[in-house]
Structure 1
Amino acid sequence: MSKKEIALKVEHVSKSFKLPTESTQSLRTSLVNYFKGIKGYKEQHVLDDISFEVEKGDFFGIIGRNGSGKSTLLKIISQIYVPEKGKVTVNGKLVPFIELGVGFNPELTGRENIYMNGALLGFSHEDVDSMYDDIVDFAELHDFMDQKLKNYSSGMQVRLAFSIAIKAQGDILILDEVLAVGDEAFQRKCFDYFAKLKREKKTVILVTHSMEQVQRFCNKAMLIDKGHRTEIGTPLEIATIYKELNGITVQKEKENEVDNQLISVEADFKNHDDEKLTFDFITYFKEVIDDPVLTFTIHRDQGELLYRWTSDEEVEGEVTIIQNRVHLSFEIQNIFPNGKFTTEFGVKSRDRSKEYALFSGIVDFELINRGKSGNNIYWKPKAKAELS
């Protein structure tokens, strides 16, 4: 077994900030309070004893709710902040995409800011000349390059900064979730860039609230909550823990109840001549659900998202709703490689504010000997799940 190569190592990192509790006061009052032992601030402990490693080639996700310490951790890794305790070891050139647009001048045009920001990233004028058209094409700001930056929206500024930043070459890239900005078409371009990094086996640290992004791109993930490293594992494992942390009950195997609505679900799975896979779900609820959205995903057993389907975005699949009975049936091409796979089936409200049902592992299957000789498919039937 080859020895693993570590790209980033974080050891016992802690960080706190002093928050003033009093308005500016006189020197005399400050001295009196000092000798009385009265502090004019309180300490906010943001990170407490964080340790983890990222191997070369990892697409490593960091997940956490607002205020969990993710941003502070990123700035420590990027050497913007210095930890009070612990240390960070980086093996290679690190490029952080978390302070996009630093150095932009609002009084200069978009064109002028490209050359200035490129210089800050270490590019010569000739380098920027050669990449200028690509930067503008990616940012989709052709009609605005001769306007002053102060006339840009905040989204346009981030798009321009991101389009410049992706030209920087590094061994380790840190991507913040704010990169997925702009309209749907531009977001797809951002995610295509993420996919390219993954194909090239770049070492990437992705910080996001989106479990879908983590399961789509990452091979490992870490959850931070209230400044503590809670767990490290596969994206599917961490996504499950994160959902439960946010009050969404996710039960393994077949039992599940979210929003106290679900009674039972039946699942069936078939394959036809090794070319197509058919999935069939029948879900019964205690009450009639108005206009539900059904979701279905297929993951590798380590959590990597391979296939995603939702009833309000896709055309394939048949959804039948009769009072409190929701039936989903659809067929997809068997494009998957050898390996073990797990699935997740959910029912949500159309605005995604409610999650009526979420089943993880309701259909698990394995593909063996895929190729000219055919494909053997095994699965563990979980025909029916009932709730008490």
Structure 2
Amino acid sequence: MEKMTKKNIAVKIDHVSKTFKLPTESSSSLRTTLVNRLKGIKGYTEQHVLKDISFEVEEGDFFGIVGRNGSGKSTLLKIISQIYMPEKGQVSVNGKLVSFIELGVGFNPELTGKENVYLNGAMLGFSVEEIDAMYDDIVDFAELSEFMNQKLKNYSSGMQVRLAFSVAIKAQGDVLVLDEVLAVGDEAFQRKCNDYFMERRKSGKTTILVTHDMGAVQKYCNKAIMIKDGEVIADGEPSVVAAKYRAANFEVTDHHKLSGDVAKAEYLPGTNAEVPRVEINLLSKDVLSRDDILKFEIIYETIVDMPTGFGFSIIDLTSGGQFSIIDDGAVQQNIFTPWSTKKGVVKRVYELPLTAFNNRDFMVVGSVFTGTDVVGDFKQIGYIFIDRGPRFFVRNEDGISGPLLVEKGQFID
């Protein structure tokens, strides 16, 4: 791992890639292995965990890394910590890096708490003199002074967690790397950890945090990235990256890809034999500001001739399900005005200015209607609701999260 010469960069990840070879068959003899090689049978598949990842962490950053399970986050931290080596690219660090990938790694249950502090400190690269200097702070933070001469195997699980965590965060390194360890200990200890992280952020010490807790990302981090399938797909403002992460977790499986008899027999919620297809798809970004325009399309299909139209709602997920109706003209004041009277696919595009929208999480939903022009003579025959509605997120620089003000959109064909 190369040392940095540029002082304002703490960690630099430069076009890093990592691949693991996963065995597909076991070979019990050298002969079988050689025969397989001659036949071109590798006996393994390649899993590309990280794909040409690059980013920089400046000195003083509290830097968040988020992503769903299997995205490559932990592998990246292990490369930064020199546990793994990348096939391609380079990692450069300016200063001493303290890595805390898993709680209690390197602790020996047959040694005392004090002995484990020195053992773990040595594994982190500190001399005995350096551990002497930080020992009292570690013990005080863990609140275990009366237990330090007892063997670790006699500690409760909570005591072990507190000691391990205290060693990590009190070690005097230039860069602290943490993987999913914020929710440790009891409520009182978590409050102490919260105070420590707030103090660390203000002090300008560099921290890299991997977590699934978007509240922690927005609370502690000043920068963040999101990894998906081994690639960086979002970076910058933590609230925007957190919104991207939430959107990824709300992705819905496409049941239209079912085949054979199963596909014929199964309908998505809100669809049926008469209306087999109802979709709302975002055409704009899913993370927007009030300077942007939300753009989405509606697609539905009917298999018989009948008058049909579509009505919309924007659900405010942040305030517990309150929503504002956006009337498209299909159903207005109990008068039904159809978009189409023929069977087949109907597709429309809608635009909604977000000028008056505050910081909130939203969902687009709607219903397919049929009926006549007689007042009140219409009914719902298909819908998109919370099981399938696309989400979008408004994130403004002013951070205001007040009530939503309704702003009408208009159709474009």
Q: Whole-Å Cα distance in 2 between the matches of residues 42 and 75 of structure 1?
A: 22
Q: Whole-Å Cα distance in 2 between the matches of residues 31 and 238 of structure 1?
A: 49
Indicate which of 28, 32, 35 corresponds to 2:31. Answer: 28
> How do 1:148-227 and structure 2 match up within 5 A?
148-227=151-230
Deviation of the 1:48 alpha carbon:
0.6
Deviation of the 1:178 alpha carbon:
2.0
Match in the other structure for 2:90 = 87
Alignment partner of 1:384: what SS? coil
Q: Whole-Å Cα distance in 2 between the matches of residues 125 and 91 of structure 1?
A: 23
Match in the other structure for 2:329 = none
Per mean C-alpha deviation after superposition, the further-off stretch among 234-243 and 185-194 is 185-194
Deviation of the 1:68 alpha carbon:
0.4
Deviation of the 1:383 alpha carbon:
2.5
Per mean C-alpha deviation after superposition, the further-off stretch among 46-55 and 99-108 is 99-108
Match in the other structure for 1:38 = 41
- Corresponding position: 1:344 with 2:360: yes
| Closer, same or farther: CA 358–156 of 1 in aligned 2, 3 Å | farther
Alignment partner of 1:181: what SS? coil
Alignment partner of 1:204: what SS? strand
Match in the other structure for 2:50 = 47
TM-score (norm 1): 0.65
Alignment partner of 1:111: what SS? helix
Let me know the Cα RMSD of the aligned residues.
4.0
Deviation of the 1:170 alpha carbon:
2.1
Q: Retained in 2: the 8 A contact 1:346–1:356?
A: no
Q: Whole-Å Cα distance in 2 between the matches of residues 284 and 16 of structure 1?
A: 46
Q: Retained in 2: the 8 A contact 1:223–1:242?
A: yes
Deviation of the 1:99 alpha carbon:
4.5
Alignment partner of 1:54: what SS? strand
TM-score (norm 2): 0.61
> How do 1:320-359 and structure 2 match up within 5 A?
343-344=359-360
Deviation of the 1:244 alpha carbon:
0.9
> How do 1:68-79 and structure 2 match up within 5 A?
68-79=71-82
Q: Output the amino acid matched with 1:170.
A: G
Q: Retained in 2: the 8 A contact 1:224–1:230?
A: yes
Q: Output the amino acid matched with 1:283.
A: Q
- Corresponding position: 1:283 with 2:305: no
Q: Which has the higher strand share?
A: 1
Match in the other structure for 1:296 = none
Q: Retained in 2: the 8 A contact 1:194–1:217?
A: yes
Deviation of the 1:192 alpha carbon:
1.6
Q: Retained in 2: the 8 A contact 1:346–1:355?
A: no
Match in the other structure for 2:405 = 383
Deviation of the 1:167 alpha carbon:
2.6
Match in the other structure for 1:330 = none
Q: Output the amino acid matched with 1:55.
A: E
Match in the other structure for 1:7 = 10
| Closer, same or farther: CA 33–106 of 1 in aligned 2, 3 Å | same
| Closer, same or farther: CA 207–381 of 1 in aligned 2, 3 Å | closer
Q: Whole-Å Cα distance in 1 between the matches of residues 205 and 214 of structure 2?
A: 21
Deviation digits for residues 239-295 of structure 1, max 9, x if unmatched? Answer: 1111111117966468899xxxx95679xxxxxxxxxxxxx9993599xxxxxxxxx
Whose radius of gyration is greater, 1 or 2? 2
Deviation of the 1:63 alpha carbon:
0.6
Alignment partner of 1:115: what SS? helix
Match in the other structure for 1:16 = 19
Per mean C-alpha deviation after superposition, the further-off stretch among 225-234 and 159-168 is 159-168
| Closer, same or farther: CA 61–94 of 1 in aligned 2, 3 Å | same
Q: Retained in 1: the 8 A contact 2:103–2:181?
A: no
- Corresponding position: 1:66 with 2:105: no
Match in the other structure for 2:272 = none
Q: Whole-Å Cα distance in 2 between the matches of residues 161 and 283 of structure 1?
A: 44
Deviation digits for residues 127-166 of structure 1, max 9, x if unmatched? Answer: 6556444323322345643442234455432321121222
| Closer, same or farther: CA 358–138 of 1 in aligned 2, 3 Å | farther
Match in the other structure for 1:320 = none
Q: Whole-Å Cα distance in 2 between the matches of residues 58 and 356 of structure 1?
A: 36
Q: Whole-Å Cα distance in 2 between the matches of residues 208 and 49 of structure 1?
A: 22
Count residues in correspondence. 299
| Closer, same or farther: CA 122–240 of 1 in aligned 2, 3 Å | closer
Q: Retained in 1: the 8 A contact 2:223–2:237?
A: yes
Match in the other structure for 2:277 = none
- Corresponding position: 1:104 with 2:143: no
Q: Whole-Å Cα distance in 1 between the matches of residues 114 and 185 of structure 2?
A: 20
Deviation of the 1:115 alpha carbon:
3.2
Q: Retained in 2: the 8 A contact 1:172–1:202?
A: yes
**% identical equivalent positions:** 61
**Gapped regions of structure 2 (runs ≥ 5):** 1-5, 252-281, 297-311, 326-356, 364-386
Q: Output the amino acid matched with 2:152.
A: L
Deviation of the 1:102 alpha carbon:
3.7
Alignment partner of 2:116: what SS? helix
**Gapped regions of structure 1 (runs ≥ 5):** 267-279, 287-340, 348-353, 368-378
Deviation digits for residues 280-322 of structure 1, max 9, x if unmatched? Answer: 9993599xxxxxxxxxxxxxxxxxxxxxxxxxxxxxxxxxxxx
| Closer, same or farther: CA 179–244 of 1 in aligned 2, 3 Å | closer
Alignment partner of 1:44: what SS? strand
Per mean C-alpha deviation after superposition, the further-off stretch among 239-248 and 74-83 is 239-248
